[in-house]
Amino acid sequence: MGSPEVRGRGALLLSLLCAGALGFLPCCHGAAAEAPGYVTVSAASFTPASTCSAPDPVAPQRNGTSAVLRLTHRHGPCAPARTSSLATPSVADMLRADQRRAEYILRRASGRGAPQLRDSKAAAEEEATVPSSWGYDIGTLNYVVTVSLGTPGVAQTLEVDTGSDLSWVQCKPCAAPSCYSQKDPLFDPAQSSSYAAVPCGGSACAGLGLYASGCSAAQCGYVVSYGDGSNTTGVYSSDTLTLTATDAVQGFLFGCGHAQSGLFQGIDGLLGLGRMEQSLVQQTVGAYGGVFSYCLPTKPSTTGYLTLGGPPSAGFSTTQLLSSPSVPTYYIVMLTGISVGGQQLSVPPSVLAGGTVVDTGTVVTRLPPTAYAALRSAFRSGMDSYGYPSAPPTGILDTCYNFAGYSTVTLPNVALTFSSGATVTLGADGILSFGCLAFASSGSDGGMAILGNVQQRSFEVRIDATSVGFKPGSC
């Protein structure tokens, strides 16, 4: 790659060529100005579309050994009408909620000092110790799937979360304000011939552990308290969960919620994909082997997919899955390096030693302070070479640009390297969000990082018992 000085002279020459009799005009930076390690994209690609351009999921076929669900952005035009009609939160509100979730994950990870990371085989050999003060922050979950619950099946639109275990829906009877407003009718257990409340004293109730909430009328109670103060409580139950026309989970254990409060609105509930026994992934180990993958759509106007089961296809970069006793729900990998514009950043290994949570619910990737400072400095330097005007910070995002008048934008590539050499090279939509560098500083050096959903978009992320794989350009 050429030096910054050479790129800078090239950018200056282009600027002079763009100056004419009418004064300085916005300059279009095309492939001719692009240096190795940089990518040029249309500025229009950052503008969200108002119509759905991909109504059906595009997922690899797994020879009938998997279930594939359509995955959409909750507030986009491809979402079910009952969720897409909800008011889209402002960028400021979304980033504030995202910060609450990230801070909660990092507090959980640091609750006992530095996480004791182990490979998954070692973790399986001993029981995870779970702290008594447990919770999650549902704050900014973005992606939904539609499934059916009960017999006959009733459609339920659920937010997908790799950082939660127990799934739940709102159930009758539940009068306001005990239940929040949702677009679908509440699930009515009395209308399902396959519904059963989990009895007290049974193994399923005993297995709730920290989610247990006593017994009432011999029925097992559950409670989940989230990091932002939201909570759901009700009867731990079982019923038929229909994923697709050919895939159903008999006796699926879930929370039948009779009292909810907090940041829930519009959705019918939550689908937990975490690592503990209450999650959908663990409940379907017999059918799908504890394997799942997802592809988060790049834009709200396109669709992705959630797949349970199936053998891996070619093209994945794979890294080892780790565990931490302090955060047993989370999927953790080891980030080992970051490059910008094709150049590896100088970040001491100790800075990244806390591991990285792969989380669908966090929007913006969080890095330890030293790693983020190095990334920001290199990215700003690369952008300065092209002379883009800066814009004011947007919430937690402090490196922002004004691309008004530009038909194309040239960005330095950003690549993340994980243990075993797995490398994820981000597309433009994984680098910029809201016109800003979609990374933020959080926590402390040596502490946990979080791989947010902006950086996961368009990759198929495949998770099994021992590894996490990334395959680019999958949706």
The residues assigned a catalytic role are 161, 359
* Contact criterion met (CB below 8 Å) for 102 and 397: no
Return all residues near 198 (Cβ < 8 A) that are at least 6 apart: 204, 205, 219, 220, 235, 236, 237, 238, 253
Phi, psi of 152 (to 5 degrees): -70, 160
Whether omega before 115 lies within 30 degrees of 0, making that bond cis, reads no
Gyration radius of the chain's alpha carbons: 23
d(C-alpha 329, C-alpha 451), whole Å: 15
Q: Where does 244-314 have alpha helices with state H?
A: 280-283, 285-288
As given in the structure block, the two tokens for residue 208 are 């709730």
Burial degree of 5 (CB within 10 A; 0-12, 13-18, 19+): exposed
The span from the CA of 180 to the CA of 267, in Å, is 9
Q: What does DSSP assign to residue 4?
A: H
Dist. CA 298–CA 474, nearest whole Å:
10
Q: At what angle do helices 4-17 and 369-384 cross, to 10 degrees?
A: 40
**Long-range Cβ pairs for the range 196-204 (8 Å, 24+):** 196/237, 196/238, 196/239, 197/235, 197/236, 197/237, 197/256, 198/235, 198/236, 198/237, 198/238, 198/253, 204/236, 204/238, 204/253
Q: Is there a contact between 449 and 371 (Cβ–Cβ < 8 Å)?
A: yes
Place of tokens 């980033």: 95
Cis (ω within 30 of 0) for the bond into 312?
no
Q: How far is CA 243 from the centre of its chain?
A: 20
Longest CA span, the chain: 84
Q: Are the C-beta atoms of 321 and 339 separated by less than 8 Å?
A: no
As a whole number of angstroms, the distance between CA 46 and CA 401 comes to: 12
In angstroms, rounded to a whole number, what is the distance separating the alpha carbons of residues 465 and 169?
Answer: 27
Q: What angle do CA 8, 14, 20 make, to 5 degrees?
A: 140
Residue type, 3: S
